Structure 1
Amino acid sequence: MSDFPDCQPRPARAGLVPYIVRWSGERPVNTPVVAKGRTGIGYQHERPGDRDARGVLWTRYVRAPGEGTPEFGGVHPYRQRRAMRRLLCQVCSGPADRNERGVLWLVGNAGRGWSGEDVTGHPPVCLRCAGTARRACPYLRKSGTLALRVRDAPLVGVSGKLYEPHRRDLVCLGPVTLAYDDPRVRYLQATQLMRALRDWTAVDL
């Protein structure tokens, strides 16, 4: 079953607001997280799309792109997850640019170098939207931008809020990023999907 049973692509408004950006009219749905015994956490009444293909629980969010004002410092979990899974451009939601050297990604910290095993929650981009992504993302504007062609970018984990069972209740331990093979991931309420960028070449756009 698809992780996105009712998803329709939504282009960025006038090409200025990236597809993955959260709008002020989009907020978390107030659904209590409950313990599911040794299987981890869940919702009392789960529905399609609450879990990804690896069985990790995801935060429920109102989906209303275009309502209110864009919050450029945050991403919408549903759209970020869709873009990462399908390698879609984070700005226009079309296919990310790909050639013989790999898929196009923009990463920060250009002035401090980049290792070969970095993990990112930023989806890739298409050539047409690379400039918009660089201007719209506060992180990229602050840290500088490095363009990469990536040949190997597997899905490796998730970011979100980690819970811990405590007697008959759950205690929220705060935000973490966990690999899919970490046993604690069954107690994570995810908000971002992560890929490792392993086999890459820096390029000049």
Structure 2
Amino acid sequence: MSPVPYITKWSAEEAPALRVVAKGRGIGYADERPYDRDSNGVLWTRVPALPGKGRPEFGRVHALRQQRAIRELLCQVCGRPADRDSDGVLWLLGEDPGDPGFWTTDLNTTHPPLCMPCAVKSVRSCPHLRERYVPLRARAFELAGVRGAFYRPGYPAPVATEVTEVAFGDPRIHWLRAGQLIMRLREFRITSLESYTA
């Protein structure tokens, strides 16, 4: 059986029902606490951290562990430091390597990097990655924004309208309840997992 990825949400980690209210230039929680926002003032989904409790919910991401893995360059599967060499940090994207339009600009991703052993295991065990994947080495990257639930003003409370991505510096970020951090990969090259032997 494959290990449960570090960033996977577990069934016991259900976010509590929180009342979202209009606050300042955007939204906040009615009972907002200091740790509900990051250092950029972005409101985050409040979720308990109970890894291993209940059953893993593959395909769903735990907001705090995803944020930590992106910020600290931790492997999204094992939670240890991601693979890094002279060509950069290892990322694995589920994209078509033959799509020329995909590779013409910087890449934004919510997927944290990986260590080499976990990257190899992932392409063997994940049904989505078995069909297509691109391993990248990125030398230059930066935090670019957040992905989450976007709200609009409403009465008696703001109304969630869609899940979207908003860049840092965009004033709409004050109307977003973040669930994932976005990393922009600037200088990268396609690499290979073929030479690695577990």
| Structure 1 residue identity aligned to 2:115 | C
1:53 aligns with 2:39: yes
CA distance in 1, matches of 2:88, 2:174: 32
| Structure 1 residue identity aligned to 2:169 | D
Cα 1:52–1:134, aligned 2, differ >3 Å: closer, same or farther? farther
Q: Deviations over 1:107-160 (max 9, x none)?
A: 111343332312100000011211233345554344x11110001110001000
Correspondence for 1:132 among 94, 100, 121 = 121
SS in 1 for 2:36: coil
Correspondence for 1:31 among 18, 21, 28 = 18
Cα 1:136–1:58, aligned 2, differ >3 Å: closer, same or farther? farther
1:170 aligns with 2:158: yes
How far has the Cα of 1:168 moved from its partner? 4.6
Identity %: 48
CA distance in 2, matches of 1:130, 1:165: 42
How far has the Cα of 1:184 moved from its partner? 0.5
Question: In the alignment, what sits opposite 1:83?
Answer: 69
Cα 1:29–1:110, aligned 2, differ >3 Å: closer, same or farther? same
Whether contact under 8 Å (1:157, 1:193) holds in the other structure is: yes
1:19 aligns with 2:9: no
Once the two structures are overlaid, the 10-residue window that deviates more, 51-60 or 130-139, is 130-139
TM-score when normalising by structure 1: 0.86
Q: Deviations over 1:9-40 (max 9, x none)?
A: xxxxx8711100111221111111111132x1
TM-score when normalising by structure 2: 0.88
